[in-house]
Amino acid sequence: MEREILNPLENAQLQIKKACEALNLHPSIYKLLKEPKRLVEISIPVKMDDGSIEVFKGYRSLHNDALGPGKGGIRFHPNVTADEVKALSIWMTFKGCVAGVPFGGAKGGVTVDPKKLSMTELERLARGYVRELYDYLGEKIDIPAPDMGTNAQIMGWMIDEYMNISGKSDTGTFTGKPIEFGGSKGRVEATGFGVAIIARETIKKLGLKMENTTFTLQGFGNVGSYTAKYVQDMGGKVVGIALRDCAIYNPKGLDYEDMVKHLKTNKNLSNYPKADKIPLDEFWELNVDVFIPAAIENAIDAEIAKKINVKLICEGANGPTTPDGDTILKERGIVVTPDILTNCGGVIVSYFEWVQNLYKHFWFSDEVVARQEVAMVNAFNDIWDVVEKYKVTFREAAYMSSIKKLEEVMRLRGWIQ
């Protein structure tokens, strides 16, 4: 059976439309929110190490800035498209609303496989991206951060290029930077830590105990690995991890530190000796309590949604569930905490970094962790209250809450009558 192929922008727009209809809002609200305020498409010429010139396509989307400057990552990935970047910027708008931070939604990307570039080529690409988009970036305009295929080092090159052009030390224009260059402690692990917090809080509401709960994850990148770490620290047991073409499974549990140690040496988890290698079809049908997709968009389509055998899904990735998949999960009674709530830890600590940069005053790790936990628990409780009041799903509640907040602010600003 062929996998469902869905344009992520259509997915995002459908979610907005459903929430607007549930709130009985004027159709103009949907029209204002279904497309970004601007999308900038650029061509970035890069001199390669062999002396040749390659031109890479790049994008930056600002969806809505009613609440504040745009905020969102930059991904370097071969499958980046304009519609994907637009969809991701939409999700960032609602993620900021859920997180309670004064940011709008933005996202950027370059269509490239960063693994095929040398470090010097990667640096030239990063600096070229900033040169082409300089006029659209700024501490109070649009604030990028790392995403898939980018990291703190790339943010370091980008902020350096921005400062070279501007002649100003506006380090808050980028977040997710190296700590030595204005980054915040706790930023690298923030998204995974937040996913674990939302899982823990939901488990409590479902009447379960963390120490008796089993987890599977899809992906062991930044989000997946740190989610596994904090789930383990909180008493949960990760028993399986889906990789690109297979999965690993050990019903007795997988140890985070040991897997990281193995990865450093072997660069691959598929040959991890303390787990069985199993096919993905078998992975989806594992009988566990919680599944955390922490890899790609549209991972849970209708076909996969019929196979999954869990009580709870916590979306660590952006847009991992298709509308058809979501409908089936709802019919089966599987609780889903949506991406805009579950993985908002990254934007929360990015906000902390931005504040620290503006004031040139930096916090200790314990302070960042404590502040993030309070913010995540508050966000969860706010959405839970909507779930209980309106008897809707977590996803419906998160979008209803966010869109209502945006509608009120846009009205106050005079954008709508």
The answer to whether position 75 is within a domain reads: yes
68: domain CATH number is 3.40.50.10860
Q: Specify whether 138 is located in the same domain as 227.
A: no
Domain-located, residue 374: no
Does residue 143 share a domain with residue 45? Answer: yes
Q: Which of 119, 137, 170 is the last residue of a domain?
A: 170
Condensed to tens digits (0 to 9), the pLDDT of residues 208-245 reads 999 999 999 999 999 999 999 999 999 999 999 999 89
Residue 97 lies in a domain: yes
Q: From the candidates 71, 86, 95, 107, give the one annotated as an active-site residue.
A: 107
Q: Evaluate whether residue 296 is within a structural domain.
A: yes
The total number of structural domains that make up the chain: 2
Q: Which of 342, 377, 394 is the last residue of a domain?
A: 342
How far apart, in whole angstroms, are the C-alpha atoms of residue 1 and residue 381? 40
- Which residue segment(s) compose the domain that 333 sits in? 190-342
Rounded to two decimals, the pTM is: 0.92
> Is the same domain home to 161 and 48?
yes
Q: Tokens at residue 340, please?
A: 């805009």
Of 289, 322, 342, the residue that ends a domain is 342
131 and 228 share one domain: no
Instruction: Round the average pLDDT of the chain to a whole number and report it.
Output: 95
Tell me: pLDDT of 386 over 80.
yes
My answer on whether 152 and 202 are in the same domain is no
Tell me whether residue 28 is in a domain. no
Residue 216 sits in the same domain as residue 269: yes
Q: How far apart are the first and last CA of the chain?
A: 49
CA 135 to chain centre: 25
pLDDT 10s digits, 28-67: 999 999 999 999 999 999 999 999 999 999 999 999 999 9
Q: Are the beta carbons of 288 and 250 closer than 8 angstroms?
A: no
Q: Are 125 and 261 in a shared domain?
A: no
In tens, the pLDDT along 99-144 reads 999 999 999 999 999 999 999 999 999 999 999 999 999 999 999 9
Q: Tell me, what CATH number does 290's domain have?
A: 3.40.50.720
Residues 249 and 152 in one domain: no
Active site residue 86: no
Rounded to an integer, what distance in angstroms lies between the CA atom of residue 388 and that of residue 285? 30
